[in-house]
Chains A and B, each alone.
Chain A
Amino acid sequence: MSVFLLLVVIAVLSVAGFVLCRQRALKSVDGNIRRLHSLPGYYGWFGFILASIPALLALALWLIIQPLVIERQLSSFFPAEMIEDPSARTLLFADVRRVAAGLDTAVAQGAMSEDQAERVRTEFGSVRDRLAAVGVALGAEVTPAVLAAAQEYREMARVGVIGRSILTLILSVAGLVFAIRATGPDFRARNRVEQVVLALLILSSTIAILTTVGIVLSMLSESLRFFTMYPAADFFFNLTWSPNFRGNSELGLIPLLWGTLYISLISMLVSVPIGLFAAIYLAEYASNRVRSVVKPLIEVIAGIPTVVFGLFALVTVGPLLRDYFAQPFGLGNSGSSVMTAGIVIGILNIPFISSLADDIINAVPQSMRDGSLGLGATKSETIKKVVLPAALPGIMGAVLMAASRAIGETMIVTMGAGAAARLDLNPFEAMTTITVKIVSQLTGDTEFNSPETLVAFALGMSLFVITLGLNILALWIVRKYREQYE
């Protein structure tokens, strides 16, 4: 049975579980719902859950574990030295799977009988040619070991499918039967269902956390590999960035970090005042009519893809700054510059800051404003002296979050600031950032085994640490702020 078919059967059993358990619960009290511990729907959901979740879990586990088991078993087909190196091993088993899939296709198209597929030998002619005839292209001639392994693979997969189907169906039916038998007026279906929902919630949050941990670990291991090939002190303190794929690269973080921070700083200088003033206007002065029009309009900016902002930087802001500022003042004649990227990222962040700050300002209790106005303060004094200070921690949090967005921005920098790593104070010069270099070190046909490519992971790790630090700081500030009004 295919996975899809299995899922359909489980779905049918689950729906049956819902209907049967609900009916049985109703029947057990002769339709008098008040004698049931829980509402009838809960009994239904209990049946549904027992028929579906254990079976689905088993299916998922099976799908994960089966390839691992098969791979282990197939190792015996190859001499130990062939599968010692992990990457060679991966390639070999990819071959095995491809040949197995090729045989499947051949059988499906009728070019081979099932029997032939099981007994075909390389000695009787090229398997590669026979598979090519049915449209399966293989890179190299199939070796006897690979062919034998592929045939074994097919056999094991066939057994696996049968085992999988039996196991899941048994679990599903068993769950269904168990749920039906458990159903009765005293059975606490509501509590059980709520337990399951709780477990689902916990599972979801665990997945989110585990993913983060996984990302960090994979980056960490690659970064460590990088540091075995390139001295950490050079990476962190060298002032030059000049990767060279023939060797002798200088991979200093500082110029990239400088570019990143410089561009972020300019973007914050643009987005913080404008975003904040917009938020103050919207929250304190704008009438409801104005607010209902302006707020969505500002937030439209947030929906524009950053690559479009990049185009704006490339064709409008860059040339404008070059022609009217950089060249007249003799500050250079580069269209891409820190200034260009900084301003455009700043614009990108305006709605982010204004909408967060607007919420935060609105969260300041009206009684604070009344208190101040009642003492004879003007509206603007009230905003400056009472509302903003009360909202400040929250606003700081918003600003830090915007900063970490600016630091992580890639597209606008690529198109607006260029790709030249440079340590310079002149904001009209082209510079570049960590994110841009991560992309450029990884694009192209390279394997992850030279310091020039692996440096991307060290860069990514550095970026991760910086933004994580900023976000933790922001969260901490926001939490402190929350305590004030509770």
Chain B
Amino acid sequence: MNDMTHKGLDLATQTAKISASGVQVHYGTNHALKDVDVTILDRTVTAFIGPSGCGKSTFLRCLNRMNDTVASCRVSGQILLEGEDIYDRRVDPVQLRAKVGMVFQKPNPFPKSIYDNVAYGPKIHGMTRNKAELDAIVEASLRKAALWNEVKDRLDATGTGLSGGQQQRLCIARAIATSPEVLLMDEPCSALDPIATAQVEELIDELRHQYSVVIVTHSMQQAARVSQKTAFFHLGNLVEFGETGAIFTNPKDTRTEAYITGRIG
């Protein structure tokens, strides 16, 4: 199922996009993430797995500094995006988030039209000079999100009126529209039915050709299906990180083995 050669991409040739080292996160007195080192490769899907509350979302949100919006949250350690420390004081988190897009667990389209949902990012960042360019971005993003054919006749309809799976793909299109380099997805399929899930998974596999994708998932099958690298978290620790095939067939740590065989979770 996770046959690398079949997908025609060699992990060895990919350069590092994000490298995190010694990341610690505290929520008040709660030590939520302990000394995490992870390297996220370009044009690769990296999956974060682990039981609930082990810190997957927390780590994901460190990568685009969404944790800045949580008052009690303190992050230490180093996270480099293409060699640049994203927690450096010169970095504007707002600009960073345009480069590191995010898709959330529950589809959260704005109560605006489908067009305006996708055009939101480009408008804010002044990415286009005229309506024609904006139209082009909207169309390209919707196409990449495999939604164009379903909505091209009703771009003015409100985004909240779409089905759950369509909403989530709309949110992906919205994130793609700002031309991010990395796409973070926090359990993007957990609110979707199996068919919508399959569509989104297929989409993630497509996106890998252009972006570096990080996906948090509860489902090990999903991690196995879509990712090339997998990180297993447990109680705030990064237990094991490696190629997905290796993690699932030949786990080095007993905790990883226990989790993927369903003994802890």
Contact = CB atoms under 8 A, between A and B. Distances in A.
A372 B120 contact: yes
A294 to B, nearest CB: 18
Interface string A447-480: 0000000000000000000000000000000000
Contacts of A67: none
Contacts of A484: 111, 160
B120 A374 contact: no
B102 to A, nearest CB: 4
A368 B109 CA distance: 7
A474 B181 CA distance: 45
Given A376-B178, A484-B160, A371 B171 contact: yes
Nearest to A376: B98
Contacts of A373: 66, 69, 97
A370 interface: yes
Contacts of B95: 376
Nearest to A364: B111
B104 interface: yes
Interface in B85-138: 94-99, 101-102, 104, 106, 108-112, 120-121, 124-125
A339 B102 CA distance: 51
Nearest to B117: A371
Given A381-B124, A385-B124, A484-B160, A375 B108 contact: no
B213 interface: no
B218 interface: no
A374 B112 contact: no
B147 interface: no
A390 B117 CA distance: 13
Interface string A354-397: 00000000000101111111111110010001100110000000
Nearest to B105: A367
The majority secondary structure among interface residues of chain A is helix
B175 interface: yes
A374 B111 contact: no
Contacts of A376: 94-99, 121, 124-125, 178
B74 to A, nearest CB: 17
A368 B104 CA distance: 10
Interface in A378-433: 378, 381, 385-386, 389-390
B64 interface: yes
A287 B121 CA distance: 28
A393 to B, nearest CB: 10
A385 B108 contact: no
Contact of A367 (B69, B108, B121): B108
Interface residues of A, number: 21
A213 to B, nearest CB: 37
B111 A375 contact: no
Given A376-B98, A376-B178, A390-B111, A385 B66 contact: no
Contacts of A365: 108
A362 B104 CA distance: 20
B174 interface: yes
A367 B109 CA distance: 9
A365 B124 CA distance: 21
Nearest to B123: A385
Contacts of B106: 367
Contacts of B175: 374-375
For A370, A376, A390, the residue with the greatest tally of chain B CB atoms inside 10 Å of its CB is A376
Contacts of A372: 110, 120
A386 B110 contact: yes
Contacts of A369: 69
Contact of B101 (A370, A375, A381, A485): A375
A377 B177 CA distance: 13
B108 A368 contact: yes
Interface string B164-199: 000000010011001000000000000000000000
B110 A374 contact: no
Interface string B205-220: 0000000000000000
B174 A375 contact: yes
A110 B178 CA distance: 98
B164 to A, nearest CB: 14
Contacts of B121: 375-377
Given A376-B95, A484-B111, A370 B120 contact: no
A374 B66 contact: yes
A485 B121 CA distance: 22
B109 to A, nearest CB: 8
A375 B104 contact: no
A286 to B, nearest CB: 12
A484 B66 CA distance: 26
Interface in B49-100: 64, 66, 69, 71, 94-99
Contacts of A375: 97-98, 101-102, 120-121, 124, 174-175, 178
10 contacts: A367-B106, A368-B111, A370-B69, A371-B174, A374-B66, A376-B96, A376-B178, A377-B124, A378-B94, A484-B160
Given A375-B102, A376-B96, A385-B120, 15 more contacts: A370-B66, A371-B109, A371-B110, A371-B171, A374-B64, A374-B97, A375-B97, A375-B120, A375-B175, A376-B94, A376-B95, A389-B112, A390-B110, A484-B160, A485-B111
